[in-house]
Amino acid sequence: MRIAVAGLGAMGLWLAGRLLAAGQEVRCFARGATLKALQTEGLHLTFEGEATHYPVFATEDPAALGPVDLLLLTPKSQALPALAAQLGPAITPDTTVLPLCNGVPWWFLAGAPAPLQGQSLPGIDPEGRCAQAWPFDQVLGSVVHASAYVTAPGRGVHVMGKGLFLGPVVEAGAARLGPVAEVFEAAGLNVGRKTLAELRQEVWYKLWGNLTMNPLSALTGVTCDVLLADPDLRRYASAIMDEAAALGAALGCPITDSPEDRHDVTLALGAFKTSMLQDLEAGRPLELEALLWTPQKLAKQLGLAVPMMDALAGTLRVFEQGRGFGPA
């Protein structure tokens, strides 16, 4: 299978490295320092404590990528609309598109209850660019449970986790699931094959934790174990999670765990840096639209009061403005 990876950050390097190790043909779409590093030095990945290196084809020309059988989209979610406009030459009607991003994906309302079913998410997908470039019947949704980080352009370290949930966004795309799942299973990932309803549930459950831990870690600059050790901050996070659980129920994604259950899961991971804290330290804009601002907007649309979420969203909005990102 010919595979292209767009977005060679931590997740992209990990997945590309594992696919290369499994003998797949992988092409990388990159720019700047990452492109130069991949072209001159290859892809470096430390996996399970072992340093590995793979020569890899890398380009900034979308036409040189394809056509491809599988397109992996692994940047931060805010980069997807621009990629939708750029990657057309790599895609045919036979290409399966697989976004692997945190937060609410652009396809999420395809399976939502009324009155939101089928509506667009303009904060996630301005002007419907993703939906136009990548028809739902070519898209597989995903939820990744893994942690990795970048040490330098083209060099990544996998920390923990090999979980990947996959599922079709619409029934017409169901036949794409099996071949893609088999590719990732051969690369050593633990793949769960999901229906759309199950996949939406997994998306919301992961978001339920990320919606608080990621922004709060960026605000404070500390790891999640330190966050949750403070009783006041822990209660604040729990209050936001209660609101997010009520929102999830209204969206057809009920949460049965308590916030304390989820905190226990987070604490079991130890002193790790969230992806948002890593972005902050690298001077990159934060993935707030998909993780926080769109959930807040969905609550407003449904008439749900979420004052704790509002407070966090407003704080991060001003925080990003202060860093020179986001609307004035």
Q: Contact, 145 vs 164, CB < 8 A?
A: yes
8 A C-beta contact, residue 85 and residue 109 = no
Question: Rounded distance, CA 111 to CA 131, Å?
Answer: 15
Is the separation of the CB atoms in 14 and 28 below 8 Å? no
Which residues belong to the active site?
206
Token couple for 282: 């690298």
Tell me how far apart the alpha carbons of residues 167 and 195 are, in angstroms, rounded to a whole number.
Answer: 6
Q: Which of 174, 146, 145 is nearest to 47 (CA)?
A: 146
Backbone angles phi, psi at 200, to 5 degrees: -60, -40
**Distances 121 to 89, 156, 172, 235, 280 between C-alpha atoms, Å:** 25, 32, 22, 30, 25
